[in-house]
Chain A
């Protein structure tokens, strides 16, 4: 992976997405949902960035803006050095050849009235690649690559199980040999025994095609298994970015700590100290001032209300956005609730 160190494939700087909230008989904008607020990260070829956080933290919105399915409010997304928000129609089509997305429920993203063969040859048709015969051959190859019999081309999506449909979704995503795939909860709906098959397939394809993956999921064990780097999001902001081993072995941000301690372990003898967070995630329409996590943080101080903590570099790589992470680490700060 030495060559990939040169220039990142994807560079996201200060990405912000606000959705207007409209209300009234004559609808007018009464506020904004702060879905994503100043998110930055880079992704190199062949690497996986895991994006974790609870529902509503903005992780899916980040994924969608990378394909410009959502237009960012502020900030830049550079794909191979080019800003995607400035792209016009032709360039966008090129972009979407290089960047693909896989969703949670493949049944909703596969046209129920088209055969699998037609669904999979569509990318070639859109990009005017190959003759009908060549496309047929490519579809058969794709199906075999994802572990489905080539005869499946003449069948319809409903004839397949969830795991097989997700394989078809993956086949479509890799059809044009993209450089980056956004996996938005791609394995979350699958049963354990099938989920591991699909994870293995994604890891294989990544190695073979030198793919970069943005892996968005709420299951932290799965995210850790597939990722090199992990970014933890809370209410539209990244609170911690570390390599995937470190996030789990020595989480720094109090939210990351709570999140990891909340994961049930498949081991009845595991006795970890559990931090139970009180209450729910606040509304992203009026996020708390300063540190957005402070309303649920057991260590919150006056400073947390007044000042937004910046992402600070951590020794050993990665960064964390908390005013007091060092004090918490050295147990110099007593929890307020205790």
Chain B
């Protein structure tokens, strides 16, 4: 039984132009201790999925229209707000792309960290909280933690701020950490530091991680399993090695082929996926990728492909995935 089981989750937003279904019947399973990579381009719904799991969808415009989010056999969505708040931060924590916007710019780091300690353990005194904060800052590799507690967020570099965010997320030793593009705004040498840190903390605490990113290379580096999202749906799910060695969905194949590779020959034409990601008001019927797919048939417009299993670990939502892999071989 998975630690976290997201079943048929759909989220809609109310906009000036009417209701927009941003994610449609998304299924994700997370086993304890593992890293699940969620990958997709902007607007594919990967962040909205994370916010829905956290119970942080913007209100009143965003709402869950279907599905369950099951943690330890209990559906979070059937619970009262207070109970969900207790889960958030203690069982499931989240870190974001831009720590500068997630941290309060006019409060010292120390005050913000103490606040998150006391949020779930109000009986803990200030001095004791501060001691804990120093310990956790050390754990995330911040030198001179006592001094840093006195700093404001703007006094820290981007990498340091992300470390503070991670420290804040880990204060209550959650079972699940959701990381939404945590290294996208960072330089590659700093990204390497942060990825190493997350892997280290995961080993120490045994927590499971949902790692959301647009960067397939980062996924290859740290994920155990991967879900590929396109236009609000999961189109492929597999172990990381299978996904990169034998991708089944034409979108995944196109995505992998279009990244410039360090081993490639400079100044050659890259493979591309034609066209653009469709916007939500002009979503194609049936398979949402069909307008950009070289293999599309009439069936693709008529019926939404469901996730089919190639093996126990590899699932794909394409009517013709069987024929495609033959064609590639």
A positions within 8 Å CB-CB of B: 48, 54-55, 161-164, 191-197, 199-200, 203, 218, 220-222, 224-228, 244-245, 248, 258-260, 262-270, 274, 276-277, 280-281
Contacts and interface: CB of A to CB of B under 8 A. Distances in A.
Contacts of B191: 262, 264
Interface of B: 41-42, 157, 159-160, 187-193, 195-196, 214-218, 220-221, 240-241, 244, 254-256, 258-262, 264, 266-273, 276-277
A225 B276 CA distance: 22
Nearest to A194: B276
Contacts of A197: 272
Contacts of A228: 266-267
A191 B42 contact: yes
8 contacts: A192-B259, A196-B260, A196-B270, A199-B260, A222-B260, A226-B267, A244-B266, A276-B189
A197 B272 CA distance: 6
A277 to B, nearest CB: 5
Contacts of B195: 264
Contact of B258 (A196, A227, A258, A268): A196
A227 B266 contact: yes
B272 A266 contact: no
A265 B220 contact: yes
Contacts of A162: 42
A224 B262 CA distance: 7
B7 to A, nearest CB: 28
A54 B254 CA distance: 29
Nearest to B191: A262
B37 to A, nearest CB: 10
Contact of B159 (A262, A265, A280): A280
A263 B263 CA distance: 12
A264 B217 contact: yes
B241 A200 contact: no
Given A265-B217, A265-B221, A266-B217, A220 B262 contact: yes
Question: Which of A163, A193, A269 has the largest number of chain B CB atoms within 10 A?
Answer: A193
**Among B189, B191, B258, which residue has the most Cβ atoms of chain A within 10 A?**
B189
A263 B216 CA distance: 12
A203 B269 contact: yes
Nearest to A53: B187
Nearest to B244: A268
Given A265-B221, A277-B189, A225 B241 contact: no
Nearest to B221: A264
B255 A193 contact: yes
B99 to A, nearest CB: 14
Contact of A248 (B196, B262, B269): B262
B41 A220 contact: no
Contact of B215 (A54, A264, A274): A264
Given A193-B273, A266-B256, A280-B160, 11 more contacts: A192-B214, A193-B41, A194-B276, A196-B258, A196-B273, A199-B260, A200-B270, A228-B266, A265-B221, A266-B244, A268-B221
Nearest to A52: B188
The 3 tightest CB contacts between A and B, nearest first, are A225-B260, A54-B187, A196-B258
A222 B157 CA distance: 25
Contacts of B262: 220-221, 224, 248, 260, 263, 265
Nearest to A218: B187
B84 to A, nearest CB: 32
A193 B269 contact: no
Nearest to A161: B276
A232 to B, nearest CB: 12
B255 A192 contact: yes
Contacts of A268: 220-221, 240-241, 244
A200 to B, nearest CB: 5
Contact of A192 (B196, B216, B268, B269): B216
Contacts of B260: 196, 199, 221-222, 224-225
B271 A196 contact: yes
A264 B270 contact: no
A121 to B, nearest CB: 25
A54 B271 CA distance: 27
Given A193-B41, A248-B262, A270 B188 contact: no
Contact of B220 (A218, A224, A266, A280): A266
B266 A266 contact: no
Contacts of B267: 48, 203, 225-226, 228
B189 A225 contact: no
A274 B193 CA distance: 11
Given A203-B267, A262-B189, A276 B196 contact: yes
B281 to A, nearest CB: 13
A197 B136 CA distance: 44
A263 B256 CA distance: 16
Nearest to B256: A266
A262 B258 CA distance: 21
Which among A199, A224, A267, A277 has the greatest number of chain B C-beta atoms within 10 A? A267
A7 B269 CA distance: 28
Contact of B277 (A191, A225, A227): A191
A192 B258 contact: yes
Given A258-B189, A270-B220, A193 B272 contact: yes
A266 B214 CA distance: 12
Contacts of A164: 276
B329 to A, nearest CB: 20
Contacts of B259: 192, 196, 221, 266
Nearest to A55: B187
Contacts of A225: 260-261, 264, 266-268, 270
A199 to B, nearest CB: 6
A267 B259 CA distance: 12
B145 to A, nearest CB: 15
A200 B272 contact: yes
